């Protein structure tokens, strides 16, 4: 992208949304090549009202210009908008901003060598040296930041004067400043060198050992194949043999070993790596730099540390630095600079933390050259503008100090994120104090270990803190002069912290509550953590919560959270600390609205675990999660009406958190699963089995506290979910009784004959329910006719088998049918005299069936469609006819009702609890159909929103494809949950655009969120999409034939119809996920590109 191309790089604000919506720059692409620069400049941007401005207006008004402060854009939240409009705006494309402002602030570019600056032949790509010189000519500084030593780097960088260039060598072991001045030289402890050597002696069959002393390399035996690997393959200096080699009882190890390397075949790495990590633990730092190589370095050594020392010597901050890398060894460096770039050939975890993806190092021009051109032009432009600009205003004041309280499994990743942010932004003080309770590990205080090794071996092993994080044991010391206090501790510890620091906190400070278990019960009152902390410390409080499993956050997987903060400036400040390409923060102006769902959702995650432990199926679990969420929404509306107006259930602190904690490996879900398997055990014993300690999950206290509050309000009958969870956890009821709170609805109607049209997996399962129901209810004739498309099974007709053995052996084997269900191969015969027609067949066969039966359907017949995903869209995308409309028109009846919900056929057939939503605008028919389908294990709720029910049932098949892509690509639970929430919002936007009269609350019914969850965790569309993501070379037809045993796949065809609707209405920008799924289905982009497009996986591609 040429300078002036309008693409945002960092968080920008959507002015029209009902909150300060901060979004990381990974949502947009940096640009293409300079050849497309002029076209990029002409690209229209979206104005605040969502319309594309005229080109002349754009030029005049300066739309696309960078905000005054690129790193900290902000703005006041506007008034709350209606739910439908707000849902639309959640996925609206931002106005674009110019890139040169951000790129022009970069003064130092640090580049890795192998896989980045060097091509696959270990040589700089064409134009690399010239591009570096051009960058330096405009005032830039280029530094090599590599795992190689200086001699090795000089050998592959022909034409580079490394003696004068700053650089970080051997992963930060040796740091060279400007003019070749050595700033730092660290050595590996001799005792550790000897230990590793002895390990190498015992494991010569697995790996070789190499020592690096300055630019000299040593090995024990040059005849060992892997001892010479670095020299032969990576062109390192030829190593010398140590005197005596392996034959010596005590080999003469060099006295100043800067780096040790353990080199092995890639297939041995899984065996070697954990042994080396255990050997060096607590003594040194180690990292895998290549598929074949583990580097052992001095304590406190890595590329990020080395880069920090180098920047300090140059008088620059991390906010003026950019870095390029490709391997996991570059993660810390990329996370410590303002602009992080990953090569197109980079490891996935490296791409996940990058702001931009460059072309591969093998392309021409290479990615580094392309980026250097951008930096050079932007820096030159900014330099000219700065020279002509008036003198800048004086600094606003002292830098903002940050303190974190909590160094456990969640607190440590939070401190790590915040520590990385303060290094990049001069608005913050470069030190983050991390308070953690006094613990010892291997006889050493944990705070001392963290400060020496920058690692928390107990709670965050394998992930390093940036050097900005300083661990302290004294809570008052941590709080001293802090402007932002972040609390990430369990409530019993947090209460003690508040007592310790009360009276020692700046009155202008703000607290950020990330703990989800702090609830106080008073006389007819319920207070959350923000209120408790604010009153205890006398300061303002905010809350930041969402779908955030600690392990996923530490690993850099994508996640999202919601910030509740009433102070606009404080909200901007907090968002700046947390917003990253792989961690998105949106802001609403109500603190308790965020806490309500993030805290109370722990009860729902316990219910999800009970479903798993009790062996309930996916339908039951999805139903319980939905029922719990609806009850929490009801609880919020009754007791926190002002907060409920913000509809936080639809934010990351709502659905995303609910999904990931109920379906991912959250502590609450895991504990409840184990408890449900054997509820006779003590709670602590269950915790010890699951976690290895006796700490109980936070949800237990939440359930107890909220149940006490509900009881004090005499509202137990209004909140059966909360009451039932309390009875289960206190052992008054067994875990299996969870489903008993969903009481069936029983209504009366006139007797009628029922015909089920369809006998596949789902058709047979629903015929079982209908067959059982009509025997118990006098309103219906006892015989149910099931139309069966005739097939031969082992030489016998399928209808004959069903009518004699009462089992559909092909589509639902193992589940007996009631004897009153009669199979009929003639469709015309099946519909004669029928009063109720239940359509439950693949939509591909609906048109042909309707032509056959239409002349024979009796007047006044009631029809109900259980067909999911059937939409008939005109070629131009203007008109849409749903399956129910097609049926009503063909049969000449006023309306066809719709039944959709979280219904996986096998789970329904098994008798696991499930639920569905009936869409029917006719009151009498609604009562009748509810009686037909409703039973203790299949709960039916009704609504008049027919098309909302039907369209959710179809659109979720498209989102399920994205869920399958997540699973096929091995993405984390946080990421998948965020994708589902985004999908849910986009479904709501599209339905509102097509049918403005649809009811927004339909999304909370079984046909909405519950059906989406079931389909995205266990449905056939998810399964086939997972297979497609693993092997995109296959066609959808091939996958359908391999996996579905004759069943039909609805997702891809539905996706085609949906895209026509999107394109005709100009909704591509508002519906990026649905549009990207279509691109993957049609193979225009890869499944991985779906998540790149919406910013959930990696930064956008900066290609040729």
Q: What does the angle CA 315 – CA 318 – CA 320 come to, to the nearest 5 degrees?
A: 75
Please answer whether residues 514 and 491 qualify as being in contact, where contact means their C-beta atoms are separated by less than 8 angstroms. no
Give CA–CA dist 890/894, Å, rounded. 11
Give CA–CA dist 987/1011, Å, rounded. 13
Q: What does the angle CA 497 – CA 706 – CA 594 come to, to the nearest 5 degrees?
A: 65
Query: What tokens appear for 790 in the block?
Result: 């005739």
Length of the chain measured in residues? 1104
Asked if the peptide bond before residue 365 counts as cis, ω within 30 degrees of 0, the response is yes
Q: How many CB atoms lie within 10 A of CB 349?
A: 17
Give CA–CA dist 170/1088, Å, rounded. 33
Q: 114: which DSSP letter?
A: B
Alpha-carbon distances, residue 1075 vs 191, 547, 740, 1038, 1067 (angstroms): 58, 24, 41, 23, 9
Place of tokens 């309770």: 437
Alpha carbon 193 to chain centroid, angstroms: 41
Q: State residue 852 phi and psi, 5-degree precision.
A: -70, -45
Alpha carbon 184 to chain centroid, angstroms: 39
The four Cα atoms 504, 509, 510, 515 give a dihedral, to 10 degrees, of -30
Give CA–CA dist 890/496, Å, rounded. 70
Please answer whether residues 1008 and 624 qualify as being in contact, where contact means their C-beta atoms are separated by less than 8 angstroms. no
Q: 490: which DSSP letter?
A: -
The two beta strands, 780-787 and 821-824, are: parallel
Q: How far apart are the two ends of the chain, measured CA to CA in Å? A: 10
Among the listed residues 755, 732, 721, the one whose alpha carbon sits nearest the alpha carbon of residue 634: 721
Please answer whether residues 184 and 174 qualify as being in contact, where contact means their C-beta atoms are separated by less than 8 angstroms. yes
Please answer whether residues 10 and 71 qualify as being in contact, where contact means their C-beta atoms are separated by less than 8 angstroms. yes
Handedness of CA 727, 733, 739, 740 (dihedral sign): negative
Give residue-wise pLDDT tens across range 886-915.
Answer: 999 999 999 999 999 988 788 888 888 889
Give CA–CA dist 413/294, Å, rounded. 24
Task: Give the pLDDT confidence score for residue 236 in this predicted structure.
Answer: 81
Query: What tokens appear for 479 in the block?
Result: 């709080």
Please answer whether residues 837 and 862 qualify as being in contact, where contact means their C-beta atoms are separated by less than 8 angstroms. yes
SS3 of residue 360 by DSSP:
coil
3 state SS for 384-406: HHHHHCCCCCCCCCCCEEEEEEC
Taking 50 as the pLDDT cut, the residues of the chain under it are 1-99, 742-749, 1100, 1102-1104
Give CA–CA dist 14/35, Å, rounded. 30
The two beta strands, 428-435 and 400-405, are: parallel
3 state SS for 177-226: CHHHCEEEECCCCHHHHHHHHHHHHHCCCCCEEEEEECCEEEECCCCCHH
Among the listed residues 612, 1056, 1015, 1046, the one whose alpha carbon sits nearest the alpha carbon of residue 809: 1046
Task: Give the pLDDT confidence score for residue 308 in this predicted structure.
Answer: 86
Q: What does the angle CA 463 – CA 468 – CA 469 come to, to the nearest 5 degrees?
A: 60
Handedness of CA 36, 41, 43, 46 (dihedral sign): positive
Among candidate residues 634, 956, 976, 1034, the one labeled active-site is 956
Q: 32: which DSSP letter?
A: -
Query: What tokens appear for 860 in the block?
Result: 């006044």
Place of tokens 């986009």: 986
Task: Give the pLDDT confidence score for residue 991 in this predicted structure.
Answer: 92
- Tell me if residue 351 is catalytic: no
Give residue-wise pLDDT tens across range 237-266.
Answer: 889 998 888 888 888 888 889 889 999 999
Q: 833: which DSSP letter?
A: T
Task: Give the pLDDT confidence score for residue 32 in this predicted structure.
Answer: 31
Give CA–CA dist 1092/1059, Å, rounded. 19
Alpha-carbon distances, residue 516 vs 413, 513, 544, 596 (angstroms): 16, 8, 10, 9
Biggest alpha carbon–alpha carbon distance for the chain: 101
Give CA–CA dist 1065/954, Å, rounded. 19
Strands of 559-564's sheet in order across: 469-472, 428-435, 400-405, 484-487, 510-513, 540-547, 559-564, 583-588
Handedness of CA 839, 840, 841, 842 (dihedral sign): positive
Task: Give the pLDDT confidence score for residue 1067 in this predicted structure.
Answer: 93
């Amino acid at each position: 992208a040429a300078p002036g191309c309008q693409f945002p790089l960092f968080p920008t604000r959507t002015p029209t949304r009902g909150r300060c919506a901060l979004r990381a720059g990974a949502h947009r692409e940096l640009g293409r090549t300079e050849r497309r620069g002029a076209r990029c400049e002409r690209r229209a941007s979206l104005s605040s009202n969502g319309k594309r401005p005229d080109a002349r207006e754009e030029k005049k008004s300066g739309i696309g210009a960078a905000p005054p402060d690129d790193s900290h854009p902000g703005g006041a939240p506007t008034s709350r908008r209606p739910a439908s409009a707000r849902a639309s705006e959640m996925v609206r494309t931002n106005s674009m901003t110019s890139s040169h402002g951000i790129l022009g602030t970069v003064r130092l570019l640090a580049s890795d060598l192998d896989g980045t600056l060097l091509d696959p032949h270990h040589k700089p790509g064409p134009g690399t040296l010239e591009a570096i010189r051009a960058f330096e000519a405009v005032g830039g500084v280029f530094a090599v930041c590599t795992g190689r030593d200086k001699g090795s780097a000089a050998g592959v960088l022909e034409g580079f004067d490394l003696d004068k260039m700053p650089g970080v060598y051997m992963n930060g072991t040796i740091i060279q400043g400007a003019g070749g001045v050595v700033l730092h030289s660290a050595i590996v402890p001799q005792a550790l060198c000897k230990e590793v050597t002895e390990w190498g002696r015992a494991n010569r069959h697995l790996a070789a050992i190499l020592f690096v002393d300055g630019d000299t390399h040593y090995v024990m035996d040059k005849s060992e194949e892997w001892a010479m690997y670095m020299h032969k393959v990576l062109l390192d200096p030829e190593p010398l043999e140590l005197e005596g080699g392996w034959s010596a009882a005590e080999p003469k190890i060099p006295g100043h070993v800067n780096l040790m390397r353990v080199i092995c075949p890639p297939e041995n790495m899984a065996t070697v790596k954990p042994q080396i990590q255990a050997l060096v633990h607590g003594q040194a730092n180690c990292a895998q730099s290549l598929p074949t190589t583990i580097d052992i370095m001095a304590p406190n050594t890595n590329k990020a540390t080395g880069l920090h020392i180098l920047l300090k010597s140059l008088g620059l901050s991390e906010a003026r630095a950019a870095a390029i890398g490709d391997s996991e060894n570059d993660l810390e460096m990329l996370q410590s600079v303002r602009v992080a770039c990953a090569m197109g050939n980079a490891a996935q975890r490296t791409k996940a933390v990058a702001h931009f993806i460059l072309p591969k190092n093998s392309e021409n021009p290479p990615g580094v050259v392309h980026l250097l051109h951008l930096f050079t032009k932007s820096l030159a432009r900014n330099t000219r503008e700065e020279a002509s600009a008036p003198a800048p205003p004086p600094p606003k004041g002292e830098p903002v100090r940050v303190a974190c309280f909590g160094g456990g499994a969640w607190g440590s990743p939070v401190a790590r994120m915040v520590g990385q942010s303060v290094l990049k932004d001069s608005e913050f003080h470069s030190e983050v104090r991390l308070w953690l309770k006094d613990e010892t590990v291997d006889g050493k205080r944990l705070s001392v270990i963290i400060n020496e090794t920058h690692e928390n071996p107990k709670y965050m092993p394998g992930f390093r803190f940036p050097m900005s994080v300083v661990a302290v044991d004294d809570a008052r010391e941590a709080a001293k002069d802090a402007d932002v206090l972040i609390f990430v501790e369990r409530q019993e510890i947090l209460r003690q912290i508040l007592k310790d620091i009360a009276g020692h906190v700046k009155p202008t400070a703000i607290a950020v509550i990330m703990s989800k278990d702090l609830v106080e019960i008073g006389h007819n009152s319920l207070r959350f953590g923000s209120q408790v902390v604010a009153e205890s410390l006398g300061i303002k409080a905010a809350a930041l919560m969402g779908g955030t499993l600690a392990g996923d956050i530490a690993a850099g997987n994508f996640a999202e959270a919601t910030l509740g903060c009433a102070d606009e400036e404080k909200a901007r400040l907090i968002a700046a600390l947390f917003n990253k390409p792989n961690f998105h923060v949106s802001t609403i102006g109500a603190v308790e609205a965020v806490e309500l769902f993030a805290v109370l959702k722990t009860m729902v995650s316990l219910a999800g675990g009970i479903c798993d432990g009790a062996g309930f199926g996916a339908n039951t679990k999805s139903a319980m999660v939905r029922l719990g969420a609806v009850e929490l929404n009801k609880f919020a509306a009754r007791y926190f009406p002002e907060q409920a107006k913000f509809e936080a259930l639809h934010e990351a602190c709502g659905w995303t958190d609910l999904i990931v904690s109920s379906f991912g490996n959250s502590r609450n879900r895991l504990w409840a699963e184990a408890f449900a398997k054997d509820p006779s055990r003590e709670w602590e014993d269950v915790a010890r089995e699951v976690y290895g300690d006796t700490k109980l999950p936070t949800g237990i206290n939440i359930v107890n506290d909220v149940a006490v509050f509900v009881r004090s309000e005499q509202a137990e009958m209004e909140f059966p979910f909360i009451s039932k969870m309390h009875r289960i956890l206190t052992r008054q009821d067994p875990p299996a009784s969870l489903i008993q709170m969903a009481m069936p609805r029983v209504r009366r109607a006139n007797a009628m004959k029922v015909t089920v049209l369809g006998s596949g997996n789902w058709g047979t399962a629903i015929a079982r329910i209908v067959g059982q129901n009509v025997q118990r209810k006098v309103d219906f004739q006892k015989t149910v006719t099931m139309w069966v498309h005739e097939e031969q099974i082992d030489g016998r007709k399928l209808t004959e088998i069903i009518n004699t053995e009462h089992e559909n052996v092909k589509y639902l084997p193992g589940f007996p049918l009631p004897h009153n269900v009669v199979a009929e191969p003639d469709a015309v015969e099946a519909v004669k005299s029928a009063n109720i027609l239940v359509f439950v067949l693949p939509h591909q066969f609906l048109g042909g069936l309707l032509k056959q039966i239409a002349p024979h359907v009796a007047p006044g017949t009631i029809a109900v469609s259980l067909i999911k995903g059937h939409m008939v869209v005109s070629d131009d995308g203007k008109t849409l006819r749903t399956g129910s409309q097609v049926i009503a028109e063909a049969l000449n009846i006023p309306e066809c009702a719709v039944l959709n919900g979280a219904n996986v056929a096998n789970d329904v057939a098994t008798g696991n609890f499930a639920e569905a939503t009936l869409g029917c605008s006719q009151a009498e028919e609604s009562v009748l159909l509810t009686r037909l389908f409703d039973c203790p294990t299949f709960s039916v709720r009704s609504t008049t929103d027919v098309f909302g029910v039907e369209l959710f049932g179809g659109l979720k098949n498209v989102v399920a494809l994205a869920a399958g892509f997540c699973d096929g690509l091995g993405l984390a639970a946080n990421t998948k949950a965020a994708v589902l929430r985004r999908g849910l919002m986009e479904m709501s936007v599209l339905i509102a655009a097509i049918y403005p009269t649809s009811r927004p609350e339909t999304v909370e019914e079984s046909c909405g969120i519950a059906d989406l969850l079931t389909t995205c965790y266990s449905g056939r569309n998810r399964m086939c999409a997972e297979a497609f993501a693993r092997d995109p070379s296959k066609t959808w037809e091939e996958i359908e034939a391999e996996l579905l045993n004759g069943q039909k796949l609805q997702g891809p065809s539905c996706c085609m119809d949906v895209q026509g609707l999107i394109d005709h209405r100009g909704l591509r920008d508002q519906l990026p996920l649905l549009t990207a799924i279509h691109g993957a289905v049609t193979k225009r982009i890869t499944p991985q590109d779906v998540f790149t497009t919406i910013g959930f996986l990696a930064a956008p591609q900066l290609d040729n």
